[in-house]
């Protein structure tokens, strides 16, 4: 086996040692997790090799070669059509593979000297099987888009940080991280991108042949945040109510059904106020911004539960409206002002935990999907109800921690503290802590 495929061969060999000729049903949980990890690593390494090959196919098919180019000589219109046909993928997938390969392959200068890859940190992580080609493409696309405005030093640092944080994140979580990184290194680009999103805002209502009212909508962050927060809170309240009445009423509605209920309820309430009690338990849109940015009109702001950053002008406009709390931060992320609303002590604690954890500290679910839980249990450990003994968790992660033996640790105090999750020995024999909270999902953290 050649050196180029040595890591791929090793990953496949390790997977074969675990699986071999056995039925997958016979594997123990530990063996199954090991096999899944090795196969995922092999897939990432395979993506790396394919991207390099795709870039070389594109190089040997460049337009100036005419009919003698590789793709045309093989009967294909262009290199992406050749790659898509041989892999059974789409032309878009093939084009992204070529893009990653070209951005991560060593270059040759006009003088004939070797030069490093255009994105060396991505290239190294890709070759080591730490990130997928899809993750590499997402990082590369963002960095190339801001390179001229942000400068080489800022983009290089951002590339390094994104590559460090990408392993272990889902595609959605990585996209959220990239969006925050983009706003951080290119704050002047937030408002123009926001204008583009606002121009795409639309809602279509139609009635299908069965009599169903079909609603299809796209909102920019400013206008979509109140809708999302209300729907999330309504669904959470209904799920809790379903659990409470499960013994007497076995009927359960799905999440999409509950989301439709929420929107219908909101419209009915607005039209006639037929129901007096809002079943959302004080859900509030929170806009977060640094004090210096608020004063100077620079930088950007974020909205809890919404990935896309918003401009300072939008943050000011939202804070002036009803149902929105502005969280103004000073140096070290110290909370300087929670806006104009007074809060009970327990609500204030939840707001601080939301600032520290950014939602579910384990999986990144939005704050409206979470509850504040004691790290040291109230009854068993006599744990106090204070910020440093609290953590925001969604229902699923709360059960996962207690049922499977995970430990939670908080280093530091207040909103600047860091949350760590320590897996049980059957997950990781060394019990290596895993970063959680806002520090894992937010570029600025």
**What percent of the chain is helix, strand and coil (3-state, nearest 5)?**
55, 15, 30
- Any idea of the CA torsion for 222, 223, 224, 225, to the nearest 10 degrees? 50
Domain boundary among 188, 216, 250: 188
Report whether 55 contacts 98 (CB < 8 A): yes
Whether residue 106 lies inside any domain: the answer is: yes
Global pTM reads 0.80
Domain of 177, in residue numbers:
3-188
Query: DSSP state, 21?
Result: T
| Signed CA dihedral, 292, 295, 296, 301: sign only | positive
Report whether 225 contacts 305 (CB < 8 A): yes
User: Which pLDDT value is given to residue 341?
Assistant: 45
Whether residue 109 lies inside any domain: the answer is: yes
Whether residue 73 lies inside any domain: the answer is: yes
Whether residue 240 lies inside any domain: the answer is: no
User: Which pLDDT value is given to residue 279?
Assistant: 59
In degrees, to the nearest 5, what angle opens at C-alpha 145 toward C-alphas 139 and 147? 95
Give pLDDT tens digits along the chain (445 positions): 458 899 999 999 999 999 999 999 999 999 999 999 999 999 999 999 999 999 999 999 999 999 999 999 999 999 999 999 999 999 999 999 999 999 999 887 777 677 889 999 999 999 999 999 999 999 999 999 999 999 999 999 999 999 999 999 999 999 999 999 999 999 989 999 999 999 999 999 988 888 889 999 999 999 999 999 999 999 988 888 887 766 555 568 899 999 999 998 888 777 665 445 555 566 677 888 888 888 888 888 988 888 788 888 888 877 765 567 777 777 666 776 666 443 334 677 888 898 899 899 998 888 888 888 888 876 566 677 788 888 999 888 888 887 788 999 999 888 889 999 999 998 889 999 999 998 887 765 5
User: Which pLDDT value is given to residue 166?
Assistant: 95
User: Which pLDDT value is given to residue 249?
Assistant: 53
The rounded distance, in Å, linking the Cα atoms of 57 and 74 is: 11
Whether residue 357 lies inside any domain: the answer is: yes
The rounded distance, in Å, linking the Cα atoms of 197 and 199 is: 5
The rounded distance, in Å, linking the Cα atoms of 271 and 266 is: 9
In degrees, to the nearest 5, what angle opens at C-alpha 123 toward C-alphas 121 and 125? 70
Query: DSSP state, 284?
Result: -
Domain boundary among 188, 215, 246: 188
User: Which pLDDT value is given to residue 268?
Assistant: 76
The rounded distance, in Å, linking the Cα atoms of 159 and 276 is: 51
For 164, the token pair is 């460090």
For 238, the token pair is 């209904």
Least Cα distance to 7 among 38, 28, 52 occurs for 38
User: Which pLDDT value is given to residue 160?
Assistant: 96
Whether residue 208 lies inside any domain: the answer is: no
Tally of domains in the chain = 2
Counting every residue written for the chain, the total comes to: 445
For 41, the token pair is 């690593």
User: Which pLDDT value is given to residue 266?
Assistant: 85
- Residue 187 phi/psi, 5-degree rounding, is -60, -30
User: Which pLDDT value is given to residue 342?
Assistant: 39
Report whether 101 contacts 51 (CB < 8 A): yes
Return left, alpha or beta for 255; rule: phi > 0 is left, psi -120 to 50 is alpha, else beta: alpha
How many alpha carbons lie under 13 Å from residue 283 in its C-beta half-sphere? 24
Domain boundary among 151, 169, 188: 188
Whether residue 71 lies inside any domain: the answer is: yes
Neighbours of 152 (CB within 10 A): 8
Whether residue 169 lies inside any domain: the answer is: yes
User: Which pLDDT value is given to residue 273?
Assistant: 56
The rounded distance, in Å, linking the Cα atoms of 19 and 35 is: 7
User: Which pLDDT value is given to residue 242?
Assistant: 80
The string of pLDDT tens digits covering residues 146-161 is: 999 999 999 999 999 9
């Amino acid at each position: 086996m050649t050196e180029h495929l040595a890591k791929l061969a090793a990953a496949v060999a390790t997977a074969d040692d675990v699986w071999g000729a056995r039925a997958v049903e016979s594997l123990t949980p530990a063996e199954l997790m090991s096999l899944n990890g090795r196969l995922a690593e092999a897939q990432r390494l395979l993506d790396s090799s394919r991207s390099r090959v795709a870039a070389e196919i594109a190089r040997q098919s460049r337009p100036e070669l005419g009919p003698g180019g590789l793709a045309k000589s093989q009967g294909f219109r262009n290199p992406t059509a050749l790659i898509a046909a041989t892999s059974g993928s789409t032309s878009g997938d093939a084009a992204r593979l070529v893009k990653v390969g070209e951005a991560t392959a060593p270059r040759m200068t006009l003088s004939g000297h070797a030069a490093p890859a255009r994105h060396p940190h991505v290239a190294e992580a890709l070759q080591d099987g730490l990130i997928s080609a899809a993750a590499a493409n997402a990082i590369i696309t963002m960095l190339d888009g801001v390179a001229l405005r942000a400068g080489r030093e800022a983009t290089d640092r951002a590339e390094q940080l994104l590559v460090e944080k990408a392993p272990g994140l889902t595609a959605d979580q990585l996209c959220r991280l990239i969006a925050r990184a983009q706003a951080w290194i290119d704050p002047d680009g937030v408002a123009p991108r926001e204008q583009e999103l606002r121009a795409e805002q639309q809602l279509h209502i139609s009635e299908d042949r069965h009599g169903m009212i079909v609603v299809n909508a796209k909102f920019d962050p400013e206008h979509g945040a109140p809708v999302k927060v209300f729907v999330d809170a309504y669904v959470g309240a209904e799920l809790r109510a379903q659990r409470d009445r499960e013994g007497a009423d076995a009927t359960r509605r799905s999440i999409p059904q509950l989301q439709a209920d929420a929107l219908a309820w909101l419209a009915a309430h607005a039209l006639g106020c037929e129901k007096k009690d809002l079943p959302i338990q004080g859900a509030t849109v929170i806009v977060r911004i640094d004090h210096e940015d608020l004063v100077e009109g620079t930088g950007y702001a974020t909205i809890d539960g919404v990935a896309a950053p918003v401009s300072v002008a939008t943050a000011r406009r939202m804070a002036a409206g009803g149902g929105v709390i502005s969280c103004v931060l000073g140096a070290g992320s110290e909370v300087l002002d929670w806006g104009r609303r007074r809060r009970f002590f327990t609500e204030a604690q939840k707001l601080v935990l939301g600032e520290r954890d950014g939602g579910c500290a384990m999986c990144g679910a939005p704050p409206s999907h979470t509850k504040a839980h004691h790290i040291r249990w109230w009854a068993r450990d006599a744990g106090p109800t204070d910020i440093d003994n609290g953590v925001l968790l969604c229902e699923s992660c709360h059960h996962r921690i207690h049922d499977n033996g995970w430990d939670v640790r908080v280093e530091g105090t207040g909103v600047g503290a860091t949350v760590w999750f320590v897996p049980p020995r059957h997950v990781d024999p060394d019990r290596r802590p895993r970063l959680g909270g806002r520090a894992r999902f937010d570029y600025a953290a």
